[in-house]
């Protein structure tokens, strides 16, 4: 499947236009199907490139997050920044309406953050997202991201300046508070919406928790009870059943999914997993797009982190797993995948939900 024909992508359900909607600014956001929650792809460093965003949008993610971008770097030239700012998928969403592109900015200089947000809008972002949740110590020490939760007047100023700098909706992604003794998410929600934020995503852990312990969904519920704008719940959603449970327990408008989507992008279709054939076909599409995005060598290498997760039910010593991990060229990998798919005789859907241990291994320091 090419970008130009992705309007026929699996998971796009025109019947969903009859489902109840909430609004992020001018955009009506509806679930893929009635009785499903609205599901969104969380911004993830090293993962949220246009290829993975588009795959998740095809499968039903109604909002897809760009990995966070430092406001001090957004105007720089160079290959790395060009790739971060590659919003090749944005036109697809504008044309088809299958998703919204939310580009995430962070920084410790409010005026630079506002200017960076304007640049993200210029490049095609339909929503600008401010990261107030990253718990990486080096980033917090510089006054960025979760550091704002300890200075709510500064938090308000950052949101307000960004809202005034762009014409697209602004959302914020945050955590429930700094630590157990200073949970302030209800006030954070009030400050954010007073400053003009159009939506809020809440990870149910404190900054000090990073990814340890359990996400506290009760605080997400309390925030939802006090919010006048849509709220996305986030944290400890490892399966589609978890997404349903979060929606029911918290009353959140949408559920934002991060690590679980890396292993099971079909979660956005309301599925627990996929058949082997489906996984192989997705791998063929993904590695082809990644080669287009980053070149053959790097594209193949970077796709492997997904392939290991999609096919983690394979025995460690199996021939198929060895080929997935060692085949170096795009042509050879595509040939292997196609032959493997064509040789299958029995195929059934497998549960691709993450265990707690698997989810913990995928955490990398807390980007929100």
* Residue found by looking up tokens 């914020």 in the block: 172
Same domain, 84 and 103: yes
Q: Pick the last residue of a domain from 214, 239, 272.
A: 272
**Structure confidence at residue 11 (pLDDT):** 34
Residue 353 lies in a domain: no
Cβ 173 vs Cβ 143: under 8 Å: no
Note whether 237 and 187 are same-domain residues. Answer: yes
Other beta carbons within 10 angstroms of residue 13's beta carbon come to 17
User: What's the alpha-carbon Rg for the chain, to the nearest Å?
Assistant: 20
Q: Pick the last residue of a domain from 224, 245, 272.
A: 272
Q: Is residue 197 part of a domain?
A: yes
User: Could you give the CA distance from residue 171 to residue 200 in angstroms, rounded to a whole number?
Assistant: 5
In a domain, 352, yes or no: no
Residues 13 and 76 in one domain: yes
Task: Identify whether residues 225 and 283 lie together within a single domain.
Answer: no
Same domain? For 79 and 188 the reply is yes
Residue 18: Cβ-neighbour burial (10 angstroms; 0-12, 13-18, 19+):
exposed
Same domain? For 94 and 154 the reply is yes
Residues 288 and 225 in one domain: no
282 and 261 in a common domain: no
Q: Do 216 and 302 fall into the same domain?
A: no
Distance CA 17, CA 35 (A): 13
238 with 167, same domain: the answer is: yes
Q: Within a domain: residue 41?
A: yes
Residues 212 and 337 placed together within one structural domain of the fold: no
Residues of the domain holding 321: 274-346
Global pTM value: 0.91
- In this structure, are strands 38-41 and 63-65 parallel, antiparallel, or unpaired? parallel
Cα–Cα distance for residue pair 274/277, rounded to 1 Å: 8
Q: How many domains does the chain have?
A: 2
Q: Same domain, yes or no, for 220 and 301?
A: no
Give whole-number Cα distances, 21 to 34, 37, 142, in Å.
11, 11, 39
Per-residue pLDDT of the chain in tens (368 residues, 90 and over written 9): 444 444 444 333 333 445 668 999 999 999 999 999 999 999 998 899 999 999 999 999 999 999 999 999 999 888 889 999 999 999 999 999 999 999 999 999 999 999 999 999 999 999 999 999 999 999 999 999 999 999 999 999 999 999 999 999 999 999 999 999 999 999 999 999 999 999 999 999 999 999 989 999 999 999 999 999 999 999 999 999 999 999 999 999 999 999 999 999 999 999 999 999 999 999 999 999 999 999 999 999 999 989 999 999 898 889 999 999 899 899 999 999 999 999 988 778 888 888 888 888 887 544 55
User: Is 134 annotated in the active site?
Assistant: yes
Residue 351 maps to a domain: no
Q: Is 117 a domain residue? A: yes
Instruction: Answer whether residue 354 is part of any domain.
Output: no
Provide the CATH number for the domain around residue 51.
Answer: 3.20.20.70
Does residue 362 lie within any of the structural domains?
A: no
Residue of 56, 71, 134, 224 with catalytic role: 134
């Amino acid at each position: 499947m090419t970008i130009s024909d992705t309007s026929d992508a699996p998971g796009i359900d025109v019947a969903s236009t009859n489902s109840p909607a909430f609004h992020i600014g001018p955009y009506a956001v509806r679930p893929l199907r009635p009785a499903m929650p609205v599901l969104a792809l969380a911004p993830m460093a090293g993962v949220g490139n246009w290829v993975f965003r588009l795959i998740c949008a095809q499968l039903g993610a109604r909002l897809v997050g760009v990995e966070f971008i430092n406001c001090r770097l957004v105007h720089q030239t160079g290959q790395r920044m060009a790739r971060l700012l590659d919003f090749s998928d944005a036109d697809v969403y504008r044309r088809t309406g299958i998703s919204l592109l939310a580009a995430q900015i962070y920084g410790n200089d409010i005026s630079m953050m506002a200017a960076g947000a304007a640049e993200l809008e210029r490049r095609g972002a339909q929503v600008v997202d401010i990261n107030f949740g990253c718990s990486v110590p080096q980033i917090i020490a510089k006054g960025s991201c979760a550091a704002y939760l300890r200075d709510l007047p500064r938090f308000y100023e950052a949101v307000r300046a960004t809202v005034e700098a762009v014409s697209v909706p602004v959302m914020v992604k945050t955590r429930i508070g700094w630590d157990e003794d200073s949970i302030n998410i209800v006030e954070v929600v009030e400050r954010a919406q007073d400053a003009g934020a159009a939506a809020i995503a809440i990870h149910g852990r404190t900054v000090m928790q990073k990814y340890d312990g359990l996400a506290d969904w009760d605080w997400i519920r309390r925030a939802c009870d006090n919010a006048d704008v849509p709220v996305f719940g986030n944290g400890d959603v490892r399966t589609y059943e978890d997404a349903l449970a979060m929606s029911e327990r918290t009353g959140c408008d949408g559920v934002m999914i991060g690590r679980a989507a890396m292993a099971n992008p079909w979660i956005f279709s309301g599925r627990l997993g996929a058949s082997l054939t489906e996984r192989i076909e997705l791998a063929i599409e993904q590695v082809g797009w990644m080669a287009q995005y980053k070149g053959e060598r790097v594209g193949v290498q970077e796709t492997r982190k997904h392939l290991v997760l999609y096919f983690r039910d394979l025995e460690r010593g199996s021939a198929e797993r060895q080929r997935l991990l060692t085949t170096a060229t795009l042509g050879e990998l595509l040939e292997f995948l196609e032959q493997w798919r064509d040789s299958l005789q029995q195929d059934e859907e497998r549960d691709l939900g993450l265990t707690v241990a698997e989810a913990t291994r995928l955490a990398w320091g807390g980007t929100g």
